[in-house]
Amino acid sequence: MDEHDEELSALIKAKARRYEAPAELRNRIMENLAQPQSAASGVFDAKKPAPASGRRPALESWARWFSLGFAFAGGIAVSVAVMILHPSTGEQDQLAQAVVASHVRSLLATHPVDVESSDKHTVKPWFTGKLDYAPPVKDLAADGISLVGGRVDYVGQRPVAAMVYRIRNHTINLFVWPSGTDNPKDPQFMVRQGFNLAHWRAGEMQFWAISDVNVGELQTFVRILARTDAP
Kindly state whether residues 114 and 224 are assigned to the same domain: yes
Kindly state whether residues 78 and 118 are assigned to the same domain: no
Q: What is the pLDDT of residue 51?
A: 52
Structural domain harbouring 12: 3-85
Kindly state whether residues 210 and 126 are assigned to the same domain: yes
pLDDT, one tens digit per residue, over 149-200 is 999 999 988 999 999 999 999 999 999 999 988 888 999 999 999 999 999 9
End position of a domain, from candidates 41, 56, 85: 85
Q: What is the pLDDT of residue 180?
A: 87
Kindly state whether residues 121 and 68 are assigned to the same domain: no
End position of a domain, from candidates 85, 116, 149: 85
Residue 99 has pLDDT above 80, yes or no: yes
Kindly state whether residues 170 and 121 are assigned to the same domain: yes
Name, in order, each residue with C-beta under 8 angstroms of 181's C-beta and a sequence gap of 6 or more.
Answer: 201, 204
Kindly state whether residues 69 and 144 are assigned to the same domain: no
Kindly state whether residues 21 and 34 are assigned to the same domain: yes
How would residue 90 be classed by pLDDT, with cut points 50, 70 and 90?
A: confident
Distances 62 to 42, 55, 112, 138, 209 between C-alpha atoms, Å: 20, 11, 66, 68, 56
Kindly state whether residues 24 and 124 are assigned to the same domain: no
Q: Could you tell me where the DSSP H helices lie in the chain?
A: 3-15, 23-34, 55-85, 89-108, 120-126, 215-229
pLDDT, one tens digit per residue, over 1-42 is 555 556 656 656 665 555 566 677 677 777 777 765 544 444
Q: How far apart are CA 203 and CA 177, in angstroms?
A: 11
Kindly state whether residues 39 and 124 are assigned to the same domain: no
- Beta-strand pair 195-202/205-211: antiparallel
Residue 202 has pLDDT above 70, yes or no: yes
Residue predicted with more confidence, 77 or 231: 77
How would residue 229 be classed by pLDDT, with cut points 50, 70 and 90?
A: low
Q: What is the pLDDT of residue 39?
A: 44
DSSP one-letter code for 51: P
Number of structural domains (the chain) is: 2
φ, ψ dihedrals at 127, nearest 5°: -75, -15
Name, in order, each residue with C-beta under 8 angstroms of 99's C-beta and a sequence gap of 6 or more.
Answer: 155, 173, 175, 192, 197, 208, 210
Kindly state whether residues 126 and 223 are assigned to the same domain: yes
CATH classification of the domain holding 127: 3.30.200.100
pTM of the predicted protein model: 0.61
User: What is the Cα Rg of the chain in Å?
Assistant: 31
Residue 83 has pLDDT above 50, yes or no: no
pLDDT, one tens digit per residue, over 102-152 is 999 999 988 899 999 999 999 999 999 999 999 999 999 999 999 999 999
End position of a domain, from candidates 46, 70, 85: 85
Kindly state whether residues 151 and 109 are assigned to the same domain: yes
Kindly state whether residues 95 and 79 are assigned to the same domain: no
